[in-house]
Amino acid sequence: MLSIGKLSAATGVKVPTIRYYEEIGLLPEAERSAGNQRLYGVMAQERLAFIRHSRDLGFSLDDIRELLSLSDRPDMSCAAADVIATRQLVSIKDRIMRLQSLQQELERMLTQCAQGTISDCKVIEALSNHECCLHTHHGEV
């Protein structure tokens, strides 16, 4: 059995984050030692690694909750898991496109700036009026 600190070292998930995952029900309540400290077995470690990896791939905790409950039902069709992963892929592609348009806009601003004073700085000017944008970009990135 691992203490929370060892589990943290083993999975790369910080100690308060592990407690947080337990609090929101993503991890089951841990066993406790005689002195009330959390103890983890192999199952918990695997589950946490799953969460960690999914987070690395950008899944939301809600998505992960669903993926975890799917992984607990091995006989089910994996279509639902594919839906979640595909949704995530679409959202990542979308964010990449948005970010690329922002990148272009920023590069344009910076190449036009002649390093003079604020009054003729193209960066500040470009921020002041959206009209001079080549692209429209709205919503979060």
Partner DNA sequence: TCTTGAACCTCTAGTTGCTAGAGATCCTAT
Partner DNA sequence: ATAGGATCTCTAGCAACTAGAGGTTCAAGA
Binding positions for a second copy, rule: CB under 8 A: 12, 46, 49-50, 52-54, 56-58, 67, 70-71, 73-79, 81-82, 85-86, 88-89, 92-93, 95-96, 99-100, 102-103, 105-107, 109-110, 113, 115-121, 123-124, 127-130, 133, 137-138, 141
Structure tokens belonging to residue 23: 């609090």
CB 50 within 8 A of CB 14: no
Of 37 and 69, CB closest to DNA: 37
Residue 55 near residue 64, CB atoms below 8 Å: yes
- The gap between the terminal CA atoms of the chain, to the nearest Å, is 42
- Decide whether 66 or 105 has the Cβ nearer to DNA: 66
Single out the segment in contact with DNA by CB under 7 A; choices: 6-14, 88-96, 97-105, 116-124. 6-14
> Measured between alpha carbons, how far is 100 from 11 in angstroms, rounded to an integer?
33
- By CB under 7 A, tell whether 130 contacts DNA: no
Please tell me the distance from the alpha carbon of residue 28 to that of residue 65, in angstroms, as a whole number: 12
For residue 28, give the amino acid letter.
Answer: P
Q: Is 3 an interacting residue with respect to DNA (CB under 7 A)?
A: yes
